[in-house]
Structure formats: C-alpha cells, structure tokens
Amino acid sequence: MGFATDAIHVGQEPDPTTGAIVAPIYQTSTYVQPEFGKTKGYDYARTNHPNRKALERCVAQLEGGKNAYVFTSGMAAIDAVFRLLRPGDHVVVSEAVYGGVYRLSTQLLNQFGLEFSFVDTSSIELMSAALRDNTKMIYVETPTNPTLILTDIAATARLANERGITLVVDNTFMSPYLQRPITLGAHIVVHSMTKYLNGHSDATGGAVILTREEDAEKIYFIQRSAGSGLAPMDCFLVSRGIKTLVVRMLQHNANGIAVARHLDAHAKVRKVFYPGLPSHPQHELARWQQRGPGAMLSFDVGSLEAARRLLDQVKLCSLAESLGGVETLISHPATMTHASMPADIRRSIGITDGLVRLSVGIEDVEDIQADLDQALLYV
C-alpha cells in the first residue's frame, strides 16, 4: 500500500467488537484476566495497551522499521535510546543538536559514565576523525534544530557500518513523509511525535523506530520498566493526527518554500537558513535525501533587540516553543529551545542572538507573509 493509505489504515482498523470506524480509547489501568495464568493480551496499562500497540504498528510501518515503541515525549524516547549504551561508551552527536538533548547528555547522562563529542555531522571527515575505539553510537539531527544543517544519512550509515556503530537519526523536522532515514541506512529513528506526526499541538509523545530485534527487545524492556510508555488518550490523539499527515505535509512544504523565499528577499532579514533555497550549502543534498525541504526555517535579524521587537509584534504567528502544528509558531532559540546551551557554544554553532526560528503552519500563506512583513517594520 502507499504511504497515505498506510497512514490512514495501519493500526487504525475498525473496532472488531462494534465495527466503529475509529477505535475506542482504552482508558483503563488494568485488564481482567479470564482465568489464572491467562490474559487477553494485556494485563496492565504501563506494560502495554491497545491504543499504544496500534500507534506503534503505524509508526513502524511509516518509517520502514521492524518495531516501534512510543513514549511520553520525544525526550523520553531519546533517553531510552541512550540507555542502550553502557558506562564508558562514547557517542558522536550533531553539534547543533536540540537544546534538550544537549542538556540531557551533558548534565545527566554524563554522570552515568557516557561520553559525548559534539561534531559538525555535515562533514564525514570530521565525524570520522571524532570516532574512538569506544564509540558505540552516532546520533544526528538532520536538519539540525535550529540551524537547518543537513547530514548525509547514507554516507554516515556507511561509516557507521564500517566501524560497527549504531546510527540514530532524529527525523522530527521532516516526518517520515519527507524523509525516511531507515531506507538510507539508519539503524534507529527517533521522533518527537508532539510535532508533525500529531500535528495539532494537543498531545506530547515520542517514538523510537528500530531495525534490529535485539535493540527492540531492549527498548521495550526500558519502556515498561521505566513506565515511560504513552498513555491511551495521547496515543489516540497522535493516531488521529497521523491520518492527515500527508495532506498536512504537502501544505506545510508548499508554505515553507513560499515563506523562505519571501524572507530571503526581505531587506530587514540578514540571512535565511532553509535547505530549500539554492543558497543553502547543502541544497543538492536536500533535493536528493528529502522528498521536500519542509516547513522549518530560521532567519537572522541581526541582534537580540531586533529579534525582541519582531517577536513582540507578530500577531498571526504565535510566540511559543514547539513546532509542527497546523498553526505557525515562532521562537527565539537562544532564550527558549537552546537556553540550556552555554552562550559561547551557541554562538560557535550559529545560534546567534538575532536568530529566529519559524515553524510555518498551513494557514493561507499570504497571511503568514503579511504578518511577518508588518512585524519586520519594527526591526
């Protein structure tokens, strides 16, 4: 079946009991056992429940993985992946990684004996030079948040396979519709399902999609042991959101391209970071690796004060963290999503005080552009 068909039907079959086209929400904590030593497939909601299993089937299918497990948030999913490692293991991580991942790795996981090196993963040479004898994982965001730098997934997969290293790709910015890392050689894919998979800014969730059975067994053990599996209502909401993933991403992508071009031509904007623009240094890689450039972009207005004036004047664009919803969201990475990253490190990787991140929604694109134009008058 095609991608859109799978998004609508896999894990979302009619309820076998009543025929309801939308499966019920199993809002229960426990399951009655028909007799001693036997269950109907479920015993306790922390371990598993029908809504979770259905969503996991769907996400695995869309990403082309063998198994998937869903968590309470994207960070919970990422934390579970890092728990596959052992004290003394080393990880190479994209240097322009989401601030929450930087905080998790440098302020928490390092206390348990894990070692992290932050590298420009757009360069195979730099990644290769950063590998050590104890390197067990390469963790990349592509595109990176918020600098929109790409990693060549296929080339990185070859490097990882040569050294027996696990390649993990955060595919949140693209969604499986616009990019499928497993088909390019990734071993594990992670998502903040809060973003494009859900798409409506009304639920949080994370996903880990796996290609190897031994990794899947470990991730499921972590999920049920730590109690970090996604609750029934949130699973229901994400499953509902996925049904419209394709039509949403088509509009997100079209709007993203139009807004990026509009800002790129604006006199008040110093630079636009967007792989869909020919000026982006990895524009050709984006054309090959991605189905479209997407709806995430950043632009620099020159200073913190200019960014503040812009963000105080937007009306349609909502000043808020997160991304991937149907509404346009605008944020200031240096003081919001990446505030936990030291200022000197932020600046060294291109997160300046004048950088603004935009998650382009699916409103009428002329209205988005007009709102940005009127706000840019104050810059």
> Would you state the structure tokens that stand for residue 309, as one six-digit string?
């004036």
Contacts of residue 214, defined as CB under 8 A and 6 or more positions apart, other chains included, come to: none
Whether 375 and 313 have beta carbons less than 8 Å apart is answered as yes
Three-state DSSP at 229 gives: strand
Q: CA dihedral defined by 9, 11, 14, 17, rounded to 10 degrees?
A: 170
* Size of the chain in residues: 379
Ordered strands of the 206-210 beta sheet: 67-71, 206-210, 188-192, 166-170, 135-141, 90-94, 115-119
Q: Is 170 a catalytic residue?
A: yes
Catalytic residue among 52, 57, 136, 195: 195
Three-state DSSP at 117 gives: strand
**Phi, psi (rounded to 5 degrees) for 78:** -65, -40
Catalytic residue among 46, 218, 224, 243: 46
Nearest C-alpha neighbor of 64 from the set 219, 222, 185, 238: 185
Whether 51 and 26 have beta carbons less than 8 Å apart is answered as yes
Catalytic residue among 31, 98, 139, 220: 98
Q: Is 69 a catalytic residue?
A: no
Catalytic residue among 6, 79, 152, 170: 170
Q: Is 195 a catalytic residue?
A: yes
Which residues of the chain form beta strands (DSSP E)?
67-71, 90-94, 115-119, 135-141, 166-170, 188-192, 206-210, 271-273, 296-300, 318-319, 329-331, 355-359
Q: Is 46 a catalytic residue?
A: yes
Catalytically annotated residues? 46, 98, 170, 195
